[in-house]
Structure 1
Amino acid sequence: MDSYFIPPDNVVEQLKCSLCDSYLSVSPVMLISEDGNQYKCGRCSSIKTVISTRSTIYEHLAKLMTFPCNFKDCAKKIPFSDVKDHEKVCEQRTIICPKSNCNESIKVQKIAPHFKEKHNEVYHTNYFCIKNVYAYYNIDVLEKNGKTYISFFDFDDVNFGVSICATDPTDTFQYEIQLKSDKSNFAISITNQNIILFNEREHCFKCVSGTCKSKFHVYKDNRKEISKRMSTKINRDSIKRMFGPGLITYSINIIEEADKNMKDDSKVEVKDALIRKAKKIFLQLLECPLCKEYMSPPIFQCLSGHTMCHVCKPKLENCPNCQANIEKTRNYTLEELSKKVELPQIEEKRPKVESGLKRSLEENDKNDNSAKIQKN
């Protein structure tokens, strides 16, 4: 910090943005008046002005300076290049409540208690469900495991739009939306939606409702642009075709890492169960219906399709199931599959081998008609 110039307070107070009255401490800094007396800071870069000329000389000088934090309860002096990042995480960060008809200044970490006390009808915990999406646009606050999220729901003639904003810049969780109708038994889930960082200049419900008086909010005069920039858009006509007439509701759930791991583990368990069931069914198909041993190539079948192993086949003239003729027809599909399955080692006479159980073509003595089983 010793290498930076700390200008006197009376000088710094003159270095203010003409639009938002913040310090000119975020680039790009732009000249916006012909007389050279009005500037806008980088926070207002998306606000269009008739004149907009970058003040590079000022920026070069500003890089050698420190600036006060814009939040009055923060006493830190921050280098020009670090101001933008500091403002995202500053513990004293304050905003004007984004809810309509409320102009109270609140600290970001106090948003949830503020909504719980003053706007309880739109305060939720863990998850929330909203009814009648065709007639609803609003801001909602969701608190889950100590973290606060702000939800914006809006719509236009084409889409429903939803954005979920985190007040914590380190939050990298996702959310899911589930749509239901009171006339249908099924639901539509939209998963893996990214949560974005809350920005009071962009995420203002007063802008949505047309009551915002802030001259530096990006969309206060362009409500349609708000809908276009929603992080999740759902086509209205598609929803009508899927659900038909009726009351449509949507629910929002934040998917934290633990929730995601549980879902992933559940998917793995279901997958493993399906694999075990499929293997069991396949082993049953590989079992010769006569000697009850697992079949290995060559595998024969009667003219009707019933299978038998190559040991039992010479002993039969007709299929014991349907009495159809048994010729030299082989089931090549089952043979190929039998080479790929790993057979269980249940007893000595059913050893586990790479390509199934190999039967010896040599029979034992005349009194023993069973096949001799060898290990590969």
Structure 2
Amino acid sequence: MEISSSLNLHNNLKCSVCDNYLNIPPVLTSEDGKVNKCGRCNLKGPYLTNRNSLYESIGSKLNFPCINEQCKERLSWFEVERHEKSCPHRKIPCPFWACRDKDIQMNALNDISHFQTEHPGIMCNDKLTIDLNGIKRHNSFMKVLTVDSLPYLIIVHAVGTGERIWIGVFNFDTTRKDYQIKLYSGKQLRKCIIYKEPVTLYDENEQCLYCLQNLCSIETHKYSKNYSETQKEKFKFYTKVDVLCTKNVLLSEDMHFEISIVPPEVQVPNGTA
């Protein structure tokens, strides 16, 4: 069954919090059934505990329009959440602090010009090379790596005095890519350590540098400092580099990181090369 604006029950299919369709589970309802909340608003008030299993059963038989008006896709119940996170028409908040405070929205997939205009110092092409001292000096930072005109958000976060470093690479579409982290000594290249992991689809509510720093208090961010029970999970999207062990393998204090995007079919074994 197709949902359209002419459907008599159209307004009853909307979330009371965000006013979007009730098409992402869990769908929660108040005792009197007058307030309904979709899965997008899980972390937003009001606090509801009653799951509307009957509605979810009916909703699973419906096809919905995309949340973005420019998009003409019709989506089944099981396609909605994935599509909304990767829709080429979606607008997301710019991940950088100065823009986030102003609630500046951007088209993540196509609007590289926003980064070029507002954050020119964070742009790099083809690959990103940084040294360990640079990471320790800044502690945590974000970069935008462009490969074949597509943007990739790189988040680097050092714990403590840099004994552990977490690196995450995120894209804005569903094209499968891998990222490679090559660790090597700046003085000799006879040894290197290579990590290879899949690029993760960016979700502004889960990938946030300021959540990693325990500075974020945005209600919809799953790993913000508001939610102590999720703190242990917030590094699951990142590659962990143990700096002390890496120095022992490379036999050097002068360590460099080279981050690049590689096709998923290229097989690079983890470990020492």
Query: Which one has the bigger helix percentage?
Result: 1
Judging changes above 3 Å, is the alpha-carbon distance between structure 1 residues 111 and 5 closer, same or farther for their aligned structure 2 residues? closer
Matched residue, 1:140: 143
- Name which one, 1 or 2, has greater alpha-carbon Rg: 1
1:29/1:55 contact within 8 Å kept: yes
1:27/1:42 contact within 8 Å kept: yes
Matched residue, 1:170: 175
Of 182, 185, 189, which residue of structure 1 is paired with 2:188? 185
Matched residue, 1:98: 95
Deviation at 1:81, TM superposition (A): 3.5
Matched residue, 2:27: 29
Structure 1 vs Structure 2 CA RMSD: 3.6
Unpaired stretches in structure 1, ≥5 consecutive residues: 264-376
Distance in 2 of aligned mates of 1:30 and 1:230: 28
SS of 2:114's equivalent in the other structure is helix
Distance in 1 of aligned mates of 2:164 and 2:44: 26
Deviation at 1:126, TM superposition (A): 0.3
Q: Which moved more, 1:226-235 or 1:54-63?
A: 226-235
SS of 2:113's equivalent in the other structure is helix
2:218/2:224 contact within 8 Å kept: yes
Distance in 1 of aligned mates of 2:7 and 2:213: 39
2:247/2:255 contact within 8 Å kept: no
Judging changes above 3 Å, is the alpha-carbon distance between structure 1 residues 241 and 189 closer, same or farther for their aligned structure 2 residues? closer
Distance in 2 of aligned mates of 1:248 and 1:111: 34
Deviation at 1:243, TM superposition (A): 5.9
Distance in 1 of aligned mates of 2:235 and 2:183: 20
SS of 2:206's equivalent in the other structure is coil
1:152/1:164 contact within 8 Å kept: yes
Per-residue CA distance 1:223-273 (angstroms, 9 max, x = gap): 954653133111133235446785543220111369x49x9xxxxxxxxxx
Distance in 2 of aligned mates of 1:14 and 1:169: 32
| Residues 1:67 and 2:39 aligned together | no
Higher relative contact order (CA 8 A, sep 6+): 2
Give the aligned residue type for 1:42.
G
Judging changes above 3 Å, is the alpha-carbon distance between structure 1 residues 154 and 47 closer, same or farther for their aligned structure 2 residues? farther
Judging changes above 3 Å, is the alpha-carbon distance between structure 1 residues 141 and 21 closer, same or farther for their aligned structure 2 residues? farther
SS of 1:214's equivalent in the other structure is coil
Distance in 2 of aligned mates of 1:57 and 1:118: 47
| Matching of residues 249-288 of structure 1 within 5 Å | 249-256=256-263, 260=266
Distance in 2 of aligned mates of 1:247 and 1:18: 55
| Residues 1:52 and 2:88 aligned together | no
Judging changes above 3 Å, is the alpha-carbon distance between structure 1 residues 226 and 17 closer, same or farther for their aligned structure 2 residues? farther
Per-residue CA distance 1:167-211 (angstroms, 9 max, x = gap): 22022x2221122455x5345332332212222221123434555
Give the aligned residue type for 2:171.
A
Query: What percent of counterpart residues are identical?
Result: 25
Q: TM-score, normalised by structure 2?
A: 0.75
Matched residue, 1:203: 207
Judging changes above 3 Å, is the alpha-carbon distance between structure 1 residues 29 and 153 closer, same or farther for their aligned structure 2 residues? same
SS of 2:130's equivalent in the other structure is strand
1:133/1:249 contact within 8 Å kept: no
Distance in 2 of aligned mates of 1:210 and 1:246: 29
Of 4, 25, 32, which residue of structure 1 is paired with 2:2? 4
Per-residue CA distance 1:282-340 (angstroms, 9 max, x = gap): xxxxxxxxxxxxxxxxxxxxxxxxxxxxxxxxxxxxxxxxxxxxxxxxxxxxxxxxxxx
Distance in 2 of aligned mates of 1:248 and 1:116: 29
Matched residue, 1:125: 125
Judging changes above 3 Å, is the alpha-carbon distance between structure 1 residues 257 and 139 closer, same or farther for their aligned structure 2 residues? same
Per-residue CA distance 1:106-145 (angstroms, 9 max, x = gap): 1122243221221111111100112322343122111112
Matched residue, 2:243: 236
